[in-house]
Structure 1
Amino acid sequence: MTQRSTGLLLLFVTALCWGSNWPLLKLLLAEMPPLGARAYAGFIAAALVGVIALARGESLAVPREQWGRVWLFALLNVTAWMGFASMALLWLAAGEAAIIAYTMPVWAALLAWLILGEPLGWAKVAALALGTLGVALLFTPQEVAIGPDKVLGGVMLLAAALLFALGAVIAKRKPLALPPLSAVTWQLGLGSLPLFVISSLWEEVDWAALSPAGWGYFLWMAVGPLGIAYMTWFGALRRLPASTAALGTLLTPVVGTLGAAWLVGEALGWRQWGALACIVLGVALAVRPPPARPRH
């Protein structure tokens, strides 16, 4: 299997795991506060990935000169994304939030063009347009009331999308000089720490009140969307252009919507199926192999 094929497979697993988190997190937040749920799940995910890293013979030691960038990536890829997105859900519906959150591939493609010099090309421009249209079709409610609370939530989600995209692009330009799983372990652990501190000051997590189903949602978030998905995301990012990897995440809202229809009973109409067609076509354009160069 080529590096590109492996990267695409890892990207598909990432989309499945992250997509499953939307309906399950919606159910979990009825029993746990958002930042606490994310922080504790992040710590568990960091511990699991760390154990896997040690079992594979990877060192968890961080050279002194790497600590600054470890913290930078942790804040961009974990704290900002999970923290801002979770807080925004206090003021926005999940559909409104996803419209802004999944603009991340747009910002990643543009930042990769500006910072890395990755060419956009007609296929990626078309993929961006189709993906954005698909997400808008998928999540735009029939009526959107705009007020100060929605503006605040929108700004938070826009910040989450921009900062996560920036983290992906910087990771391509200057990746951490750490073994792969060690890098994921430290980013998850350090990135969850600010969320834990804020949650401890603001929220109250009642573990005794968590139902068996709630425990299942929580543990899956720790193992799947945080543990497995962050490993596969960074694995895909090492093998694919930053813009292609980011565009592949547009499959995430498709998985989330189909999962919500199955688990939460949300209806699937023409807009959902139209969005599915747009996003699948957009991803197909984004991940198509580059044309072979003629030999002279």
Structure 2
Amino acid sequence: MTPRQTGLMLLMMTAVNWGATWPVLKFLLTELPPLSMRALGSGTLAVLLALGAMAFRISLHVPPAQRRRLVLYALLNITAWMAFGTLALRWLSASEAAILAYTMPVWAALFAWPILGEKPGPARLAGLALGFGSIIVLFAGRGVELGLAKLPGLLFILASALLFALGAVLSKRRPLVLHPITALAWQMAIGCVPMAVLAPLLESFHPALVTPPVWFWFGWFMIFSMGLSYLTWFGALARLPASTAAIGTLLAPVLSVLGAGLFLGEPLGWREALALSGTLAAVALAVGVRDKPR
């Protein structure tokens, strides 16, 4: 299997896991407060990854030259994406949050041009337009209102998308020269700190009141949506152009709506089918492009 094929496989795994995020997250937020949930999940995952690294004798040492870069990527890829995206759900519905969060490929493609020199060609531009248009079709007519009452949520979710896109492009330009487990463990550990500090100030959390089904799905969410998906995402990013990898994630919001329809009883009809077809076509256009060597 070529690096490109491996990257595409990892990208699809990322999209599926991220696609499951929103329905599961919507369910978890019925009993778990957003920042506490994210801080607990990323902190616990950091400990598990560190223990796994030690068990398999993977070094957790970070060379001094990479430490500042590691902190920056943790704040962009973990703190901003998780905290801002989840806080936005206080003002936005899950559907509104999903469509706005996955404007991320637009920002990544734009950042990749000046930072990486990845000038988008006609096929990638067409894929980007088709994919983004498919998401608009998906949510058209759902009564999405982004007035002043929802302005804080809009700002939070756009900040989440912009900063995660910037982190993806910067990670492509100057990748961390660390074992993937080491890089993820430290990013989870560093990224959870701001959320853990803010959580007690903004919300109340009573673990004893959380029911067993919610704890079960929280464990699933932590392992797959928060853990495995980051490993596959960074793996895809290392093997594919940043803009191609970002466009591939457009599958995630469509899968989110399909999952919400199947498991949460949300609407699932012609709009969802049309958006899914358009997004698949967009991904095919994007990943079918081979960048010229620079």
TM (norm. structure 1) is: 0.94
1:125 aligns with 2:149: no
Alignment of 1:67-78 (within 5 A): 67-78=67-78
Which residue pairs with 1:266 in the alignment? Answer: 266
Preserved contact between residue 88 and residue 157 of structure 1 (Cα < 8 Å)? yes
Residue 141 of structure 1: how far off its partner (Å): 4.4
Q: 1:78 to 1:240 in 2, by over 3 A?
A: same
Which residue pairs with 1:104 in the alignment? Answer: 104
Residue 210 of structure 1: how far off its partner (Å): 1.1
Instruction: Encode CA deviations 1:39-65: one digit per residue, 9 max, x unaligned.
Output: 111112222332333344321011222
- In the alignment, the residues of structure 1 paired with residue 138 and residue 98 of structure 2 have an alpha-carbon distance, to the nearest angstrom, of 9
Preserved contact between residue 98 and residue 139 of structure 1 (Cα < 8 Å)? no
- In the alignment, the residues of structure 2 paired with residue 184 and residue 125 of structure 1 have an alpha-carbon distance, to the nearest angstrom, of 31
1:158 aligns with 2:158: yes
Which residue pairs with 2:79 in the alignment? Answer: 79
- In the alignment, the residues of structure 2 paired with residue 137 and residue 129 of structure 1 have an alpha-carbon distance, to the nearest angstrom, of 12
Preserved contact between residue 53 and residue 181 of structure 1 (Cα < 8 Å)? yes
1:204 aligns with 2:214: no
CA RMSD, aligned part only?
1.6
Corresponding letter in the other structure for 2:11: L
Corresponding letter in the other structure for 1:57: R
Unaligned runs of 5+ in 1: none
Unaligned runs of 5+ in 2: none
User: How many pairs does the alignment contain?
Assistant: 293
Please identify, of 230-239 and 58-67, the stretch whose mean Cα deviation from structure 2 is larger. 58-67
* Runs of 4+ that moved beyond 4 A: none
Alignment of 1:44-55 (within 5 A): 44-55=44-55
Residue 291 of structure 1: how far off its partner (Å): 8.3
- In the alignment, the residues of structure 2 paired with residue 64 and residue 151 of structure 1 have an alpha-carbon distance, to the nearest angstrom, of 40
- In the alignment, the residues of structure 1 paired with residue 291 and residue 174 of structure 2 have an alpha-carbon distance, to the nearest angstrom, of 27
Alignment of 1:278-293 (within 5 A): 278-290=278-290
Residue 188 of structure 1: how far off its partner (Å): 1.1
What SS does the aligned partner of 1:163 have?
A: helix
Fraction of identical pairs, as percent: 51
Residue 292 of structure 1: how far off its partner (Å): 9.3
Residue 5 of structure 1: how far off its partner (Å): 0.7
Instruction: Encode CA deviations 1:232-258: one digit per residue, 9 max, x unaligned.
Output: 111111111101111111111122111
- In the alignment, the residues of structure 2 paired with residue 206 and residue 141 of structure 1 have an alpha-carbon distance, to the nearest angstrom, of 38
TM (norm. structure 2) is: 0.95
